[in-house]
Amino acid sequence: MTSGLIAIAAALVLSVTAVATATAQGKAASHALDAIARQPEAAGDIRSSLILSLALMEALTIYGMLIAFMLVGKI
């Protein structure tokens, strides 16, 4: 019984982090491209901030994967 619950928890962790990160990255990229379209001279600053924020969002997904792998290891 508990191994089934752990498997469901691991699947939920992976799915929630993947969906949330994909949504956040899409929204961030959309707003960054909108900002670049409005002020093309600030494209370099916006691009570097976007890359940094995308990397931090991706790190959250990696942490979610780590938690899921730790849960699966308990089965």
pTM (two decimals)? 0.80
Q: Provide the residue ranges of all domains of the chain, joining segments of one domain with +.
A: 2-73
3-state secondary structure 9-65: HHHHHHHHHHHHHHHHHHHHHHHHHHHHHHCHHHHHHHHHHHHHHHHHHHHHHHHHH
In the numeric block, which tokens belong to residue 32? 């960054």
Read off the pLDDT of residues 17-66 as tens digits, 9 standing for 90 and up.
999 999 999 999 999 999 999 999 999 999 999 999 999 999 999 999 99
Asked if pLDDT for residue 5 goes beyond 80, the answer is yes
Query: Are the C-beta atoms of 71 and 13 separated by less than 8 Å?
Result: yes
Q: Which CATH architecture has domain 2-73?
A: Up-down Bundle (1.20)
In the numeric block, which tokens belong to residue 45? 């600053």
